[in-house]
Amino acid sequence: MNVTIKDVAREANVSPSTVSRVLAGNPRISDETKERVMETVKRLNYHPNVIARSLANNVTKILGLILPSGEEDLFRNPFFIQVMTGISIYAQKMGYSIVYTFSKNEEEEISFLANYINSKMVDGMLLLTTRSEDKCVEYLSERNFPFVIVGRPETAENILWVDNDNKKAMYDVTKRLIDKGHKDIAFIGGPSERTMSKDRLSGYKEALSEANIEFDENLIMQMGDFTETDGYEACSTIINFKKPSAIVTTDDLLAFGVSRRLKEEKIKDTWLVGFNNIPLSEYQNPPLSTVDINAKKLGYYATKLLIDRLQQKEEELDHYIIETKFVERESTFNKLG
């Protein structure tokens, strides 16, 4: 026997429309009524028809997520897995589902967004990157469609976003190296149009400037992606010019490539720092010192911001800054301290 919304309403002693509002997360329903309805839903094992609910109140309780790479990159860079874990935890807690798709470029992302919005498949969107003159942000803003960004947008007005203080995090790492006596510090980053890349480069330069160290453009490399291959190639270019005493990177995968190149050249006295603290960083040989950006927390609070907006919560915030932590690991050539 299929349990209907009317069965739930009768058992909970409320109207079917009240059940519907509770399931849609309406903030105007009292906590006592919510608890009674949700207890009845669980006891009767009621499963609402998503399509019918969408037609009735224009709410699907589904969020869309666009991943900015192919599926093979998703498993190569655990950052996305960690962010998606945080997204899933909060979405599940609030009764929302996630649908996601992969994109190869910004034009493809716009196409996916148009499909999601026009089909009314999702209530809101989660974006995992932000760029200079971001077309996805512009597209969603023009249509007044709810969305949140993991990353600081160029213009934050009227936009939901969650990020670390990337400038300060890289500043702190660079200053730590300077305080240890390093002056020839190289910087290896990913795509220069990413806001995160700009912020981390800015923090690196500020630390050097503050210490009256003139930064050398030959020691700065910004690559097309955050892969191990990119890190390897960037390191090759830098050490052909000069062997730096330390190298900071904006991603652990870049650092893995740097480490491999340094080993090939038998360079053991260059200190190396990664970023993101992905699980594999601890098991490198030697283990990698890195910055933990709390990627799971980034995803969790991005989803909270979006759902709070969808449920029209009072006193809602428009952004969160998630703390970072330097993770120092003992090793022969990347130890800080």
Tens-digit pLDDT profile for residues 249-289 = 999 999 999 999 999 999 988 999 999 999 889 988 889 99
Determine the length of the chain.
Answer: 337
Q: Are residues 174 and 286 in the same domain?
A: yes
SS3 308: helix
Q: Are residues 158 and 264 in the same domain?
A: no
Q: Are residues 183 and 134 in the same domain?
A: no
Residue 73: pLDDT band (50, 70, 90) is low
Q: Are residues 244 and 219 in the same domain?
A: yes
β-pairing verdict for 290-292 and 325-327: antiparallel
Residue at 178 is within a domain = yes
pTM for this prediction: 0.80
Residue 337: pLDDT band (50, 70, 90) is very low
Q: Are residues 160 and 210 in the same domain?
A: no
How many structural domains compose the chain? 2
Mean pLDDT score of the chain: 88
Residues 160-213: tens digit of each pLDDT: 999 999 999 999 999 999 999 999 999 999 999 889 999 999 999 999 999 999
Residue at 267 is within a domain = yes
Residue at 211 is within a domain = yes
CA–CA gap between residue 139 and residue 145 (Å, rounded): 9
Tell me what percent of the residues of the chain surpass a pLDDT of 90. 56
Looking at residue 299, which CATH number applies to its domain? 3.40.50.2300
Q: Are residues 78 and 135 in the same domain?
A: yes
Q: Counting beta carbons within 10 angstroms of the beta carbon of residue 278, is it exposed (0 to 12), middle (13 to 18) or buried (19 or more)?
A: buried
Residue at 247 is within a domain = yes
For the chain, give percent helix, strand, coil, nearest 5: 50, 15, 35
Q: Contact 160/319 with Cβ under 8 angstroms?
A: yes
Q: Are residues 173 and 147 in the same domain?
A: no
Residue 160's domain spans which residues? 62-164+295-324
Q: Are residues 133 and 175 in the same domain?
A: no
Residue at 333 is within a domain = no
